[in-house]
């Protein structure tokens, strides 16, 4: 099967969507598919990267100039799709890439499957309501052969936006499962460490986490909070750290292509988000088996249950978030037991290998349906 996996952003760009698509491309190739990732050129990255047994990455020329870059990327994406034989196109986000792919797929006869990456005010459906040409793009997206929903909140938004329920397919994100799980550090209670991994953006609720941190430090004076990632909120968060007098108790080392080592050196993962589709960072924490605290928002509730897999707190509530962190550290043995339950859930439902096989089943079904429709 020849698959074109289309995403404007792909590693070395670092983010949840970028990571899950990288994992999926590799897992699909491991299942025997011929996977070509079509993405935008990033800096000095080579135009084509191929690894034996893995996906081929084709980086399409674009520009840093606003609008011009989008136009160039769309033009080059269209040209590639029109000049190469593929069996199916799988497109991340309901934006410009999807608009191009659906149009070319209709002309050339291959199925196009879309996947929104988020819900809420920062999600794909919200963008279609306010983004430049968003409504026009949305009308074409509704003609796609299928749309993958990674979370119930996304399915609800798709239905509200008029997408055909028979074309919506529920498929979760997947992550690799580390062979060696997280282990508690000896003497952790002398200097407990918590870590966040993700984009430093308003929807992640990091301002709330920083407001909660003085309450944690009051009980654990040597506690360290590490915010692993980068984004538009970084300067404001740094100012907030200074204003709260948190000093050396908060570190912001920047992004990491593989934060697993930092998580293994930590005693807790914290996700204070206001909005999530299906958090890759939380899935990775579950797969590793590290104790976690997260907000009780729909995207997280689809992954973990309070006091069964993790501790949950209401969003935008610093005292409640601090209590959840302190509760986990009050009995790390109990917290580790919850984390082990979360790891077992990740193994059973969110292994990237299993998720890749479910994607291949979907692709095969849509390819067969498209062929039979053309013959009919």
Q: What is the pLDDT of residues 17-31, one digit of tens each?
A: 888 899 999 999 999
Name 224's bridge partners.
Answer: 193
Structure confidence at residue 58 (pLDDT):
96
Residue 258 CB partners (closer than 8 Å, separation 6+): none
Binning pLDDT at 50, 70 and 90, where does residue 13 land?
confident
Q: What angle do CA 129, 133, 134 make, to 5 degrees?
A: 30
Whether residue 207 is predicted with pLDDT greater than 80 in this model: the reply is: yes
**Lookup: tokens for 269:** 């993962």
Q: What angle do CA 148, 152, 155 make, to 5 degrees?
A: 50
* Percent with pLDDT over 90 in the chain: 82
The distance of Cα 374 from the centroid of its chain, to the nearest Å, equals: 35
Cα dihedral across residues 114, 118, 72, 76: positive or negative: negative
Q: Which residue has the higher pLDDT, 275 or 289?
A: 289
CA 345 to CA 305: how far, in whole Å? Answer: 11
Question: Rounded mean pLDDT of the chain?
Answer: 94
* Percent with pLDDT over 70 in the chain: 99
Binning pLDDT at 50, 70 and 90, where does residue 15 land?
confident
> In 3-state terms, what secondary structure has residue 289?
coil
What would the pLDDT profile of 323-372 be if each residue is shown by its tens digit? 999 999 999 999 999 999 999 999 999 999 999 999 999 999 999 988 88
CA 55 to CA 365: how far, in whole Å? Answer: 22
Mean pLDDT value of segment 212-218: 98
Whether residue 376 is predicted with pLDDT greater than 70 in this model: the reply is: no
**Lookup: tokens for 199:** 């984009």
CA 359 to CA 171: how far, in whole Å? Answer: 8
> In 3-state terms, what secondary structure has residue 8?
coil
Count of other CB atoms within 10 angstroms of residue 362: 19
Are the C-beta atoms of 324 and 311 separated by less than 8 Å? Answer: yes
What would the pLDDT profile of 239-277 be if each residue is shown by its tens digit? 999 999 999 999 999 988 778 888 999 999 999 999 898
Q: Which residue has the higher pLDDT, 41 or 244?
A: 244
Length of the chain: 376
pTM of the model: 0.87
Please name which of 92, 80, 102, 87 lies closest in space to residue 2, comparing C-alpha atoms: 87
Q: Quick one: DSSP state of residue 330?
A: H
What would the pLDDT profile of 163-206 be if each residue is shown by its tens digit? 999 999 999 999 999 999 999 999 999 999 999 999 999 999 99
Q: Is the peptide bond preceding residue 161 cis, with omega within 30 degrees of 0?
A: no
The distance of Cα 313 from the centroid of its chain, to the nearest Å, equals: 21
């Amino acid at each position: 099967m020849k698959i074109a996996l289309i995403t404007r952003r792909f590693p070395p760009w670092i983010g949840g969507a970028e990571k899950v698509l990288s994992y999926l491309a590799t897992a699909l190739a491991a299942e025997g598919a011929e996977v070509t990732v079509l993405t935008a050129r990033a800096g000095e990255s080579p135009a084509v990267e191929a690894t034996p047994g893995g996906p081929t990455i084709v980086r399409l020329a674009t520009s840093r100039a606003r609008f011009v870059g989008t136009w160039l990327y769309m033009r080059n994406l269209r040209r590639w799709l029109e000049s190469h034989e593929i069996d199916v196109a799988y497109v991340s986000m309901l934006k410009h890439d999807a608009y191009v792919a659906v149009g070319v797929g209709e002309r050339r006869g291959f199925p196009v499957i879309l996947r929104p990456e988020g819900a809420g005010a920062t999600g794909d459906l919200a963008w279609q309501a306010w983004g430049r040409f968003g409504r026009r793009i949305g009308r074409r997206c509704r003609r796609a052969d299928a749309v993958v929903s990674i979370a119930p909140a996304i399915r609800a938004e798709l239905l509200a936006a008029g997408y055909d329920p028979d074309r919506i397919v529920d498929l979760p994100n997947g992550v690799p499962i580390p062979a060696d799980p997280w282990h508690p550090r000896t003497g952790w209670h002398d200097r407990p460490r918590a870590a966040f991994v993700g984009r430093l953006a308003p929807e992640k609720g990091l301002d709330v986490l920083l407001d909660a941190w003085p309450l944690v430090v009051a009980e654990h004076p040597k506690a360290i909070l590490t915010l692993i990632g980068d984004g538009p909120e970084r300067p404001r968060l740094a100012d907030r750290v200074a204003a709260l007098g948190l000093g050396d108790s908060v570190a912001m080392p920047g992004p990491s292509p593989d934060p697993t080592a930092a998580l293994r050196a930590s005693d807790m993962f914290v996700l204070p988000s206001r909005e999530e589709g299906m958090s890759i960072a939380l899935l990775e924490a579950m797969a590793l088996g590290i104790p976690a605290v997260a907000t009780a928002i729909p995207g997280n509730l689809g992954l973990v249950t309070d006091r069964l897999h993790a501790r949950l707190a209401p969003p935008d509530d610093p005292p409640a978030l601090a209590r959840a962190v302190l509760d986990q550290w009050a009995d790390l043995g109990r917290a580790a037991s919850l984390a082990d339950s979360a790891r077992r859930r990740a193994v059973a439902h969110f292994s990237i290998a299993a998720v890749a096989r479910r994607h291949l089943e979907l692709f095969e079904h849509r390819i067969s349906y498209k062929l039979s429709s053309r013959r009919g």
